[in-house]
Every structure is written in C-alpha cells, then in structure tokens.
Amino acid sequence: MKILVIGGTRFLGRHLVNYARSHGHQITLFNRGQTNPNLFLQVDKIRGDREKDLGLLDGHWDAVVDTCGYFPQSVRLSAEALKDKVDKYVFISSISVYADFKKIGLNESDALTTIAEEDANQNTPETYGARKTLCEQAVQNIFGIRSLIVRPGLIVGPHDSTDRFTYWPVRVARGGNVLAPDSPSVLTQIIDARDLSKFIVELIEQNVSGVFNATGPDYELSFGRLLDTCKLIGNSDAKFKWASLDFINQNKLVAGLDLPIWAPDNGDQAGFLRVSSAKAIRAGLTFLSLEETVHDTLEWANSRPANHAWKAGLNAEREAELLKLLNVH
C-alpha cells in the first residue's frame, strides 16, 4: 500500500515507518525535515510545513497517518487538502480527550472534553485533550466513514523523548533505595510504540474505520510488577520505598512528571490509567511482553549521552531528600 505519514521521524512515527516498510508498504514522509533529517534515507520525502505547503502533496495514497496533529486548524487544513488524495485519514489522538476520568474503564462512547474554537490555539497541557477532540472532529467531518481515530494511552519504548517510562528502567537499574509512588498494587497502563505501530498499520491494511482506544497491556499492570520487572531486567539491587499519597501531596510531587506513568487510583484521575482497550484488542491489538519493553527501553536509554537532560522523574538530589524524609537510611 502507499501510505503518507505526516511527521514520521520521531518516536511513534519512526516505529510506524519501520513497521510499515518491513511489511512491504511504500512510505512517503511529509515534514519540515527538522527532526532526524537523515533518518530513512531510502524513503520518499516531501519537505514542507502543514500550515502553508500542503500544495506540495501531489499524488494519491491509500492512507495518511497524521502522527503530529495538535491544533484543529492545522488538522482541518491537512484533511481538506487530502480529501481527494487519500482513501483514509488516520489521526493519532489521545485518551486525554475524555471529559471525566473518575470512571474506571472509559470506552470509545464516553463523553469527550472540548474547548471553544477561539481558544484552541492555546498550547497548554490543560487544553491538550480538548484540542485533540477538535482535531478528531475536523477529520471526521471531512472524511466521515473514511476516518480512523486511534486514542493511545501513555506510549513507551525506545526513542521516547518524554522520558516518562524510561525513567523507571534507568532509575531502578542504578539500584539502591528507589522512591516509588503510593503502593505496589496501584495500577498503571502503557503501550509500546511498536505495538501501536503494528496495530495502526494492520487496521489500514484491513481498511478499518472508526475510533479505538489503544493502551495496555491486556492485564492489570501494577506498579509493583512494573518495578520488579525493571529490577529483574536491570540486574539491580534496588529496594522500593513506597511513598503514601499523603506524603506525595505534602511534598508537592506531581503525578506523571515527578513520578511518571503514575496517577492516584481514586478521585478525579482514578480512571486515567484504567481505560478500556477491549475494542482494540478484539480488532487485533497485541502486546510485546513487559520484559521486552523494559529491556529494549533500557538498552536504548543507555546509548544516550551521559549528560542527557531528563524531562521526567526525580533527580538524585531531590530523591535523596525525599527518602530522608521517609526515614530511609
């Protein structure tokens, strides 16, 4: 198949291109050439900005995968420009589109958050989910049943520039006392970018339309199991020191940032990491083992420069202060 990818050289995009190419599909990349420009030297590339260079997209593709649509006006422009040039528009959205995360097991029919169109250019974490909702609607309004919306949870694996998941394999491998959130039984959800890429390409191959949540794994993943797996793969002597929710709040630790891929299992965010992917699993979503994801993420992380500036997790000094407050010696 001929697949146009908007973006395609960072994290999810590069995994998607790799998977599609390995299965014989012909890829064209449309991006500005600013991120990893030397990646995929054998792939057709169209250099341009989706805000002003959509006229460069001259051809016909079986599908376009929009990996980097964050503002509804931009997505609307690309969808309009491509409505007669691609058979299917695949938009990578987010589980952040849901309006109420108090519910456990959110599914594709649950209410979405939204924002006034005039406020949709505000690039803030608070508007992220609502902007994605408007992006989805722009695609659906233009492509109708030729649209495919995929709502991933927290995407993890090699080449993840957010450091959210990566923090844990690297920190646990370092060993010693590790500050861990809440309790070993608290649940989390992740999806390996390679599993997500495989799922997206297979849906395109099968000409599937509609909306799918895509997070995992296909069992309840506790933080205890996650960290124990990191310890095993990292051959570590780590000891996990579980900080209570009260301690976390008292010390103003930010869920998802200071303590990545974690959210309290009660209150307004109780369902954020307990979303249902049952529909996607029925449609063929499968999962690499947690061990493989941890191993490959750690191996990739260890290949980065030693002075890598971490975007998530606790630095050593802050963690030591907190452990001291927990009376850990």
Query: The domain spanning residue 231 has which CATH number?
Result: 3.90.25.10
| Domain shared by 90 and 183, yes or no | no
- What pTM was computed for the model? 0.96
| H-run or E-run covering 18 | helix 11-22
Cβ burial of 51 (10 Å; 0-12, 13-18, 19+) is: exposed
Q: Pairing between strand 26-31 and 44-47?
A: parallel
Is 199 contained in some domain?
Answer: no
| Domain shared by 128 and 262, yes or no | no
Is 45 contained in some domain?
Answer: yes
| Domain shared by 173 and 105, yes or no | no
Digitized pLDDT (tens) for each residue of the chain, 329 residues in all? 999 999 999 999 999 999 999 999 999 999 998 889 889 989 999 999 998 999 999 999 999 999 999 999 999 999 999 999 999 999 999 999 999 999 999 999 999 999 998 888 888 888 999 999 999 999 999 999 999 999 999 999 999 999 999 999 999 999 999 999 999 999 999 999 999 999 999 999 999 999 999 999 999 999 999 999 999 999 999 999 999 999 999 999 999 999 999 999 888 999 999 999 999 999 999 999 999 999 999 999 999 998 999 999 999 999 999 999 998 54
Token pair belonging to 99: 């309006």
| Domain shared by 252 and 295, yes or no | yes
Closest CA to 171 of 291, 292, 264, 258: 258
Domain limits for position 146: 2-152
Number of domains in the chain: 2
Contact yes or no for 221/245 (Cβ under 8 A): no
